[in-house]
Structure 1
Amino acid sequence: MPMNKNEANKRLIEKINTVEDSYPKNFSNTQKILLTTDGSITAILDVLYGKITLSTLEQHFEDATEETAKLINAEAGDLINFREVIMHKDDENLIYAISYIPLKRLTDEICSDLVRADIPIGRILKNYNIESRREINNIYIEKPNKTLQELFNTTEDMLARDYAIIHKNEILMWIKEVFPVSKFTNI
């Protein structure tokens, strides 16, 4: 049974405070909003920057491994969509994201939009009026891998979060979003 909204908000505040307390810099309000929102990151970025764009870096179908199956509450071997994207405004990369999506939980129309176009997941859910909620699992700091270093042209630490999008009490998608600690500090 999902926790009530007050408990969920308290838990998110505790998570962001724990991460911030362990880091030498304070996070901006915008960073905190991006890390704790249970709404669409795309909608927030659209407000901050005007309509943003999403570019798909990699997308393919694969069989779920034991590890990915746990993230999406599926069976190892189930067919999933892996998607790696960068959200950007013009030439400024804003947020990097990866997602695992069990195909058996998608309609053919949603699956088609997911694989054929550079459409943010938040917009796909909105376009199909999918009632869903986001459950944030983790908020943390990580060292950038080579991909993140190249995309953001930095070796600085990254703020990250991962969460599940829940629809009809099942995990529809698992998503991880990442951005540099210096990003969104002046907004």
Structure 2
Amino acid sequence: MPMNKNEANKRLIEKINAVEDSYPKNFSNTQKILLTTDGSITAILDVLYGKITLSTLEQHFEDATEESAKLVNCEVGDQVNFREIVMHKGDENLIYAISYIPIKRLTDEICCDLVRADIPIGRILKNYQIESRREVNNIFIEKPNETLQKLFNTDEDMLARDYAIIHKGEILMWIKEVFPVSKFTDI
């Protein structure tokens, strides 16, 4: 049974406070909003920067592994879409994200939009009027891998979160979003 909105908000505040308390630097309000929102990151970035753009770095269908099946609550071997993207405004990379999406939970139209165009998931859900909710699972700090170092031209720590988009009681998508700890500090 899903928790009520007040319990969910309290849990998110506790998570962001725990991460901030363990780090030598305080996070900006914008960073906290991006890490805790249960709404669309795309919509927030559009407000902050004007309409942002998405570039797909990698996308393919694969059989769900034990790890990805657990993330999206499907069977090992079920078809999932793996997607790796970067959201940016012009030449400035803003947020890197990966996602796993069980194909059996998508309509053909949504699947086509997902694979043929650089459309943010938040916009796809809005375009098809998909009623959904986001459940933030984790908020954390991680060291950048080679991809993140190249995308953001830094080896500094990364702020990250992962969450599930729930539709009709099932996980429609699992998403992890990442950005450098110095990003979004002045807005």
* TM-score normalised by length of structure 2: 1.00
* 1:181 CA drift (Å): 0.1
Listed as ranges, the matches of 1:90-169 within 5 Å are: 90-169=90-169
Q: For 2:185 and 2:63, locate their aligned partners in 1 and report how far apart those are by CA, in whole Å.
A: 39
- Deviation sequence 1:46-73 (CA, Å, 0-9, x none): 0000000000000000000001000000
- Deviation sequence 1:71-121 (CA, Å, 0-9, x none): 000000000000000000000000000000000000000000000000000
What does residue 67 of structure 1 align with? 67
Give the SS at the match of 1:124: helix
Name segments (4+ residues, structure 1) moved above 3 Å: none
Give the SS at the match of 1:11: helix
Alignment RMSD (CA, Å)? 0.1
* 1:142 CA drift (Å): 0.0
Q: For 1:68 and 1:59, locate their aligned partners in 2 and report how far apart those are by CA, in whole Å.
A: 15
* 1:34 CA drift (Å): 0.1
Give the unaligned 5+ runs of structure 1.
none
**Letter of the 1:164 counterpart:** A
What does residue 38 of structure 1 align with? 38
Q: For 1:113 and 1:158, locate their aligned partners in 2 and report how far apart those are by CA, in whole Å.
A: 29
Q: For 1:155 and 1:66, locate their aligned partners in 2 and report how far apart those are by CA, in whole Å.
A: 30
- Deviation sequence 1:24-59 (CA, Å, 0-9, x none): 000000000000000000000000000000000000
What does residue 172 of structure 1 align with? 172
What does residue 14 of structure 1 align with? 14
Q: For 1:100 and 1:66, locate their aligned partners in 2 and report how far apart those are by CA, in whole Å.
A: 13
* 1:160 CA drift (Å): 0.1
Question: How many residues are matched?
Answer: 187
* TM-score normalised by length of structure 1: 1.00
Q: For 1:172 and 1:45, locate their aligned partners in 2 and report how far apart those are by CA, in whole Å.
A: 22
What does residue 84 of structure 2 align with? 84
Q: For 1:121 and 1:65, locate their aligned partners in 2 and report how far apart those are by CA, in whole Å.
A: 22
Give me the identity figure in percent: 89
